[in-house]
Amino acid sequence: MVKLPINAAVAIHQRKSVPIPWSCGRSIGRNVSINVLKRRDILVTNASTPAQSVELAVTNTSQNVGLPIMVNGCTGKMGRAVLEAAISAGLHPVPVALGGPEDNGKIVDVGGKEIKIHGTSQREDILSSVLNEYSNLIVVDYTVPAAVNENAALYCKVGVPFVMGTTGGDRELLYKTVADSNVYAVISPQMGKQVVAFLAAMEIMAEQFPGAFSGYQLQVMESHQASKLDVSGTAKAVISCFQKLGVSFELDQVQLIRDPKLQIEMVGVPEEHIYGHAFHMYHLTSPDGTVSFEFQHNVCGRSIYAEGTVDALLFLAKKVQSRANKRIYDMIDVLREGNMR
């Protein structure tokens, strides 16, 4: 694949709406190349049957094997990636997790550990029983946007700390639900530490230099697996920063690349990552066309998000243990704490 000069590529894009070629696994100018994920749609909903006592196959001896975690949505690719990263880091996934109605009774086997998935019934009793068995349990949520608020309400009601990696839902309600409880939580739609650092840098620039790019034209192109139909939360956050920097841009102007053929031939996504990647490009051009800036980050696979989630788990466990006054955190808090693996 030939990388065109920025100006030539932009000219082609303006004439033919063809995305600028990107690459994965190497740096291009100021671009950042790192590794991505695709979140699986797993719905966890309220119980539809009366509460009953639930017996779980857990043992006391397993409590001593690392920090106990429950990964809800682990039948999906992202949840499974988190399980693999957690086991590698010495954490202990409990043998129970919550899933959607279609997942009830399934067994997930990761690293020789079997996890039984429970569907939509009796989930409050199930979670309470696990918390009674593992008093320092932390839940990880990689379900679906439609389940975010119900799941958070459940975690808060039972009193279990959680890491919310699922995007979407009513975010204002999500934060209010946690704030009204005494539960500790890390809430972040972006778990990749390096991407979060880039977002933090953008926010600092927007705060300290408002209007610095007034009059500049912004082009945004993002490529994700075809199942992701909306603009990503990461792109929304970056665009918000550019707006504070004086750029006029609306979300409906984002060029979404979802055609696998275009992703391979024009964007440069490796074929093996068509079903799990995130390529973002932000191109700024001065009013007279003589100056341009380009920011790009390409992510292939899911490891960056899984590893970030493990760091969030370890961070949250320390906050719970120290009885920190602050209860709600994000990945920037995790980065600022340092001591990451």
Judge whether 101 and 82 are in contact, CB under 8 Å. Answer: no
Closest CA to 226 of 255, 177, 175, 260: 260
Sign of the CA dihedral running 74, 79, 84, 89 = negative
Q: What is the distance between the alpha carbons of residues 130 and 118, in angstroms, rounded to a whole number?
A: 12
> What residues contact 113, with CB distance under 8 A and at least 6 apart?
83, 87, 93, 95
Asked if 16 is an active-site residue, the reply is no
Q: Counting beta carbons within 10 angstroms of the beta carbon of residue 330, is it exposed (0 to 12), middle (13 to 18) or buried (19 or more)?
A: middle
Other Cβ atoms less than 10 A from the Cβ of 206: the count is: 20
Catalytic (active site) residue 38: no
Catalytic position from the list 38, 224, 273, 277: 224
- Angstrom CA distances, 86 to 125, 305, 309, 323, 327, stand at 25, 12, 9, 23, 23
DSSP lists the bridge partners of residue 280 as 222, 297
- At residue 178, the 3 state secondary structure works out as helix
Task: Give the distance between the most distant pair of CA atoms in the chain.
Answer: 70
Name the token pair of 192: 């990749």
Q: Give the single-character DSSP code of 6.
A: H
The SS3 assignment for 118 reads strand
Cα separation values, 179 from 152, 156, 169, 187, 328, Å? 11, 10, 16, 12, 7
- What is the three-state SS of 72-106? ECCCCHHHHHHHHHHHHCCCEECCEEECCHHHCCC
Please list, residue by residue across 223-243, b when 16 or more beta carbons sit within 10 angstroms of its beta carbon and e when fewer do. Answer: bbbeebeebbebbebbbbbbe
> Catalytic residue positions?
224, 228
